[in-house]
């Protein structure tokens, strides 16, 4: 989803067809990029919060870096640390997430509903709380740690496509989300992210 005005339309990989083939589940193998190479690759492909994406993806019990990057494409057009459009704080839509606006605007308005927050668009109060315990939902690294852990748990429980669908919710929109997630993952692999 494109969550902010002025953000790139589509995603950094939208012009690439998704190849067919087996699912890539190996986390580390010969030929994988180093952390610096991954950060450079993501930067070259217009991702944001690249240090957070790569750092959180490298922790244990996380999906592959391609799946982590695909999640940020689906959620925040490639890692933008912004507020999403859903929820009851429309004045925050597309704004960068900071500790100040989270505590000063978002928290006092929780009674109206919740917005997705950060690169992984954490919407649930429980996941936001998890990120806050790690250092703050407004911190892209903490946000990615929680979002990637959740994605990993859902993939382990349901498989890749259904795990991505459950990350988004249920129903036709979540099914389209899962299709887009798979397409992003395959395009990232085809483009050389290792």
For the chain, how many helices (H) and strands (E)? 8, 0
Q: 169 or 18, which is more confident?
A: 169
User: In terms of Cα–Cα distance, which of 174, 68, 69, 75 is closest to 120?
Assistant: 75
Q: Kindly tell me the burial class for residue 69, based on how many C-beta atoms sit within 10 Å of its own C-beta (0-12, 13-18, 19 or more).
A: buried
Q: 138 or 9, which is more confident?
A: 138
Residue 160 lies in a domain: yes
Query: Cβ(83)–Cβ(138) under 8 Å?
Result: no
How many domains in the chain?
1
User: In terms of Cα–Cα distance, which of 71, 86, 166 is closest to 120?
Assistant: 71
Section 5-18 average pLDDT: 39
Whether residue 114 is predicted with pLDDT greater than 90 in this model: the reply is no
Query: Cβ(69)–Cβ(44) under 8 Å?
Result: no
Q: Against a cut of 0.85, is the pTM above it?
A: no
Residue 5 lies in a domain: no
Interatomic CA distance for residues 66 and 87, integer angstroms = 29
Residue 41 lies in a domain: yes
Interatomic CA distance for residues 61 and 133, integer angstroms = 18
Residue 42 lies in a domain: yes
Amino acid 51: pLDDT? 96
Residue 26 lies in a domain: no
Residue 73 lies in a domain: yes
What residues form DSSP beta bridges with 83? 93, 117
Domain range spanning residue 134? Answer: 35-82+121-190
Residue 167 lies in a domain: yes
Q: Name the token pair of 188.
A: 């990232």
Section 86-105 average pLDDT: 88
Interatomic CA distance for residues 185 and 193, integer angstroms = 10
Reduced to 3 states (helix: H, G, I; strand: E, B; else coil), residue 125 is: helix
Amino acid 180: pLDDT? 98
Using pLDDT thresholds of 50, 70 and 90, give the confidence band for residue 79: very high
16-60 residue pLDDT tens: 333 333 233 334 566 789 999 999 999 999 999 999 999 999 998
Using pLDDT thresholds of 50, 70 and 90, give the confidence band for residue 71: very high
Amino acid 7: pLDDT? 40
Whether residue 167 is predicted with pLDDT greater than 80 in this model: the reply is yes
Question: In 45-171, where does DSSP find H-type helix?
Answer: 50-57, 65-76, 99-101, 125-134, 140-158, 160-168
Amino acid 30: pLDDT? 66
Residue 93 lies in a domain: no
């Amino acid at each position: 989803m494109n969550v902010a005005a002025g953000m790139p339309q589509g995603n950094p990989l939208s012009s690439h067809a998704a190849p067919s083939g087996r699912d890539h589940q190996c986390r580390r193998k010969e030929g994988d990029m180093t952390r610096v190479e991954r950060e450079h690759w993501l930067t070259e492909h217009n991702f944001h919060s690249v240090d957070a994406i790569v750092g959180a993806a490298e922790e244990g019990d996380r999906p592959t870096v391609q799946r982590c990057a695909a999640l940020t494409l689906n959620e925040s057009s490639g890692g933008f640390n912004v507020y999403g459009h859903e929820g009851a704080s429309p004045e925050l839509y597309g704004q960068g997430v900071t500790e100040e606006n989270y505590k000063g605007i978002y928290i006092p308005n929780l009674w109206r509903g919740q917005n997705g927050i950060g690169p992984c668009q954490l919407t649930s109060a429980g996941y936001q709380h998890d990120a806050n315990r790690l250092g703050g939902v407004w911190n892209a690294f903490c946000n990615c740690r929680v979002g990637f852990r959740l994605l990993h748990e859902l993939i382990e429980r349901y498989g890749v496509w259904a795990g991505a669908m459950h990350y988004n919710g249920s129903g036709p929109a979540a099914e389209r989300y899962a299709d887009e997630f798979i397409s992003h993952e395959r395009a990232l692999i085809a483009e050389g992210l290792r």
